[in-house]
Amino acid sequence: MNTNFPINKIHNIKTPFYYYDSGLLRNTLNIIDKERNKYNNYCLHYAIKANSNPKILKIISQYGFGADCVSGGEIQAAIDAGFPVSKIVYAGVGKSDWEINLGLDNDISCFNVESLAELEVINNLASKHNKIANIAFRINPNIGAHTHANITTGLAENKFGIAMDDLEAIIEKAKRLKNISIIGLHFHIGSQILDMSDFKALCNRVNDIQDKLEQLGIILKNINVGGGLGINYEHPDEEPIPNFAEYFSTYAKHLRLRTGQKVHFELGRSVVGQCGTLITRLLYVKEGSFKKFAIVDAGMTDLIRPALYHAYHKIENISSSQETEVYDVVGPICESSDVFAKSVEINKCHRGDIIAIRSAGAYGEVMASQYNCRELPKGYITEEL
């Protein structure tokens, strides 16, 4: 039984819901700030797709982060939360006209461009606004990361980014466009990466690309290496804050920068992942011939990661201190994939027990759906309970 949750207050709230430990979030942000400040050319952006809860965004915006956005809605959410428009970057493989116009209207920092077709559209729209659009080219470095296949983004087979062989030609094209200013290169190889050798490999690829561009007389002032740093899903209490010191130092050691260049990071999961917990109530214990099912009122509509990625989340019965038993923890959705964990040991379950599904601060609430006409889960921060 975990004693870190305000169990008495939780009992009175309709489940399922997300509980965010704002103290842990602030501690994480303080550590990031401390480690970032060791390097005078590091710029941080929060990847809003990880968690766009307005209360979470408001806290993060107070720490000087920029915002990494992948939709017009995220751009607006960043502005509403107080992120300065001068630090908002808009990425994404399919930017619609209204989203590009929103960025232009608000003079955001940069568009991360993923194709020649997109570049031409941004140029045309910027011309209509009588503005110059800052752009960085997102390059597909063809690097495989040690993570789940569905969250790799840097392989040639992925839909993201411009092929390295096409970079020189697209830069020459961009130079001729009157409403485009090239300010950098952008990379992102995947998510939930714990092996620093993946980031080292990215550094080596960036170094090679920069060397080739320099031979052509091209030196850009910004290198955006994306994000991807993972969290410890198996032991959230042992490692509540990722090793940002090692992460940042990996780039410091292996990335060869030109004079005056800045490195941009887009941190998401590593910022918010551990501060969030999905709180759900146990509806029934169903005992069959072969196994026991702990049926809870949360489902894949509230946290889709186990169904989508076969992702592991530590599950705790925070109402019980009895001996552990083995259960399949499942939800009420009319799908066989609505399973949070199979054959997991948790304290003995009873109807009405409160179950905590840990490390759910990233890609949890933000990916919730209303399938089966279910309500979206609410999110509460510590101060609200």
DSSP assignment of 292-361 equals EEEEES--TTT--HHHHH-----EEETT--S-EEEEEEE-SSSSTT-EEEEEEEEEPP-TT-EEEE-S-T
> Rg of the Cα trace of the chain?
22
Would the pLDDT of 175 be above 80? yes
Q: State the number of CA atoms in the 13 A half-sphere of 378 facing the CB.
A: 8
> What is residue 270's predicted lDDT score, i.e. its pLDDT?
98
Rounded CA separation 13/293 (Å): 24
- The residue with greater pLDDT, 162 or 17, is 17
Would the pLDDT of 154 be above 70? no
Question: Which of 5-19, 86-100, 147-161 has the weakest average pLDDT?
Answer: 147-161
For 295-353, how does the pLDDT look when each residue is reduced to its tens digit (9 = 90+)? Answer: 999 999 999 999 999 999 999 999 999 999 999 999 999 999 999 999 999 999 999 99
Would the pLDDT of 1 be above 70? no
Concatenated DSSP letters of 201-230: HHHHHHHHHHHHHHHTT---SEEE----B-
> What is residue 151's predicted lDDT score, i.e. its pLDDT?
40
Domains of the chain are 7-16+274-384 (2.40.37.10), 22-272 (3.20.20.10)
For 264-290, how does the pLDDT look when each residue is reduced to its tens digit (9 = 90+)? Answer: 999 999 999 999 999 999 999 999 878
φ and ψ of 209, to 5 deg: -65, -45
- The residue type at 253: K
Would the pLDDT of 150 be above 90? no
Would the pLDDT of 46 be above 50? yes
Please give the torsion angle defined by the CA atoms of residues 211, 212, 215 and 217, in that order, rounded to the nearest 10 degrees.
-90
> What is residue 166's predicted lDDT score, i.e. its pLDDT?
86
Q: How confident is the model at residue 168 (pLDDT cuts 50, 70, 90)?
A: confident
Rounded CA separation 363/297 (Å): 19
Rounded CA separation 55/172 (Å): 43
CB of 29 closer than 8 Å to CB of 267: no
Return the closest-CA partner of residue 161 out of 204, 223, 113, 122.
113
> What is residue 160's predicted lDDT score, i.e. its pLDDT?
59
**For range 17-37, the mean pLDDT:** 97
> What is residue 73's predicted lDDT score, i.e. its pLDDT?
98
Would the pLDDT of 147 be above 50? no
> What is residue 158's predicted lDDT score, i.e. its pLDDT?
52
For the chain, where are the alpha helices, taking DSSP H only? 7-10, 22-36, 54-61, 72-81, 97-105, 116-129, 167-175, 196-215, 244-254, 269-272, 305-309
For 221-240, how does the pLDDT look when each residue is reduced to its tens digit (9 = 90+)? Answer: 999 999 999 999 999 999 99
Q: How confident is the model at residue 144 (pLDDT cuts 50, 70, 90)?
A: low
Q: How confident is the model at residue 121 (pLDDT cuts 50, 70, 90)?
A: very high
Would the pLDDT of 74 be above 60? yes
